Amino acid sequence: MAEELAFARKASGLVRGLSMWDAFGVGFMNQGLTPSIWVMTSLGVGVYLGGNLIWATIISMILAGIGFPIVWGVLGGSMPRSGGEYIYNSRIIHPIVGIGESFGNAFVWIMWIYVLAPWTADPGMVMMSQFMDWTWLYNPETEQFFGSLSYTWGAFAIATVANIIAFLFVVFGIKWFARIQKVVMVFGIGGCAVLLAAITVAAMDKGHSGFQESWNALSATYGSIDYAGFLAAAGEEAGGAMPTTWNWFDTFGVMVAGSWLFAYSYCITFIAGEVKRPDKTIMLSNLFAIIVPGAFMLWAAVSLYALVPFDFFSATQFVDNAGSDLGGAYTVPWSTNFLGLLAFVNQNKIILFISVLSFLAFNLWWIALSYLAFPRIIFAWGMDRMGPKWFTDINPRFASPVKNHVLCFVLGQIMIAVYVFWQNEAMQGLAVTALEIFSVFGVTAVAALIFPYVKRARGVWDASPYKSWKIAGIPVVTLGAIVQIVYLSILAYFFFFLPDPDKRLEGFTTNTAILIAVTWICGIIWYLFWKQRSKSVGVDVSMTYGELPPE
């Protein structure tokens, strides 16, 4: 009777209907693949110019491939409830910590909506129009979408449509979501494979010298700066000559942006209460969702280095990340990201269309996954009486928290408007990464580290199917947490020591630190308010956190 009083519902109302393949799809699609390769090359190498993509990928695959599946797999399999890391941290460390970091993560998923939905317009639709010569879609001379909308209003309109579509993909329930995910995943993976195969063929056919010839020929067509001039101008704008070889410091730095390909399969844990056999499914699907994008990234890195010399590749990524036209000298109608490099050596419209379609597919599904995570975070709060009771409302027809989806849509749409019309800064995507590194991944790694040893979680640990998993007498979950902490420490260090020769990022890391602190303060205030409110109606929420929420 006391437990029934403590929890907001006697049963969650969510259904365990997702297979291993479905769970893998959630984790894999949240890694992004095509847009994440763009992030690792443009934002990673574009900032850390001497970074080696191959080594950065191998190190990330090893550290993330060991740490993340163990940490999230053991925690998710031991506490198979939808809601993500809030469940684990509140039961292992303390509920105020669980709400504090989870409040930040809830904000993270709204941030992903307002950062990524505009990416559908730029670079997504902008790239499509550039490669296809579709000036009706976007005209670079007038900076208008659809022939009449200004850049700002066009980006807002496209982002809004993407947000609506993503909402509709998820709101009608997990089975509907899983069916659509399979289709989007086929287009996404297939398009990326076509893109990388085309780069590989070009590298084998042309090599460095052939790429330089293609660059100069195409540049002459558009009256743009030639190969040597581009390299020199990019170096001057970056504050020094482009490095001709790689170094370890910058390679570790590239791993910060590369984390988009390796650290986000944890999204599976938000649906831990809706997968079959969570004790096996969560861990294995996390592992596969790291290995597969890692293999694609290695393919991309080897092919790109075979096609483009190291110093010139760094120059192109710097220019793309900075959004520079080198003082008007670069006039080719597309940017120099890795898709743009393919366009210099392959003008096949079908291949370029499929490549951009892959980017758009993954980007759209990123937005959809925010509608998977955010509603379940606040659902878990509601189950513990850490929010209004309607947070726990499940639509009986769709087995979906529809009201939470609507709230997510409204908040996301408001922030899209703020982002597009006021605070349009692409680096906010990296700010989201930092928030997750410190709050979500970091705190949860600590929870996993101490899970076997904490008295408050003794009952959960004793019932865990992983209790006997030990190496040299040390629980495997503790060892996995240590590996994850090593990986996160690398990301944290190199995030705060971003090289900034042109002062373009001045104050960025400080502002991000403030954002992290504010989300924690808000989360703690939220916890104290709802704890007191529950106490005023005769409910002691401390009882809630001694048990797992009902299924």
499 against 125, higher pLDDT? 125
What's the pLDDT score for residue 2?
44
C-alpha 511/C-alpha 500 separation (Å) is 15
C-alpha 99/C-alpha 101 separation (Å) is 6
Whether 8 and 389 have beta carbons less than 8 Å apart is answered as yes
What's the pLDDT score for residue 500?
62
Q: What is the DSSP letter of 548?
A: P
Q: Is the pLDDT of residue 173 over 50?
A: yes
For residue 257, the one-letter residue type is A
Whether 104 and 520 have beta carbons less than 8 Å apart is answered as yes
344 against 10, higher pLDDT? 344
pLDDT tens for 242-297 read 999 999 999 999 999 999 999 999 988 888 888 888 888 899 999 999 999 999 99
Q: Is the pLDDT of residue 379 over 80?
A: yes
What's the pLDDT score for residue 426?
60
Look at the block and give the residue holding tokens 């574009």: 46
What's the pLDDT score for residue 363?
94
- Find the helix or strand (DSSP H, E) in which 527 lies: helix 508-536
Look at the block and give the residue holding tokens 């399999």: 77
C-alpha 318/C-alpha 505 separation (Å) is 13
Give the mean model confidence (pLDDT) for residues 426-453: 84
In this structure, what are the phi and psi dihedrals at residue 329, rounded to the nearest 5 degrees?
-80, -30
H helical segments located in 223-348 = 227-238, 248-258, 278-307, 310-322, 338-345
Tokens encoding 288: 């596969």
Give the mean model confidence (pLDDT) for residues 39-45: 94
Give the mean model confidence (pLDDT) for residues 386-403: 88
For helices 476-496 and 508-536, the axis angle rounded to 10 degrees is: 130
The architecture of the domain spanning 2-64+100-436+493-546 is Up-down Bundle (1.20)
C-alpha 64/C-alpha 484 separation (Å) is 7
Q: What is the DSSP letter of 496?
A: H
Give the mean model confidence (pLDDT) for residues 510-516: 81
Confidence of residue 8 (pLDDT cuts 50, 70, 90): low
**Of 7, 61, 28, the residue nearest 289 (C-alpha):** 28
Look at the block and give the residue holding tokens 């709230």: 407
C-alpha 437/C-alpha 541 separation (Å) is 29
Lowest mean pLDDT among 30-34, 361-365, 402-406, 425-429: 425-429
540 against 535, higher pLDDT? 535
C-alpha 342/C-alpha 336 separation (Å) is 9
Confidence of residue 3 (pLDDT cuts 50, 70, 90): very low
Question: In Å, what is the CA distance from 128 to each residue of 137, 140, 154, 352, 362?
Answer: 8, 12, 15, 8, 15
Kindly give, in sequence order, each residue whose CB lies less than 8 Å from that of residue 43, ignoring residues fewer than 6 positions away.
257, 321, 429, 430
Q: Residue 59: is it exposed, middle or buried by C-beta count within 10 angstroms (0-12/13-18/19+)?
A: buried
- Find the helix or strand (DSSP H, E) in which 28 lies: helix 20-29
**Of 1, 413, 405, the residue nearest 177 (C-alpha):** 405
Q: In percent, how much of the chain has pLDDT > 90? A: 67
Residue extents of the structural domains in the chain: 2-64+100-436+493-546
What's the pLDDT score for residue 475?
96
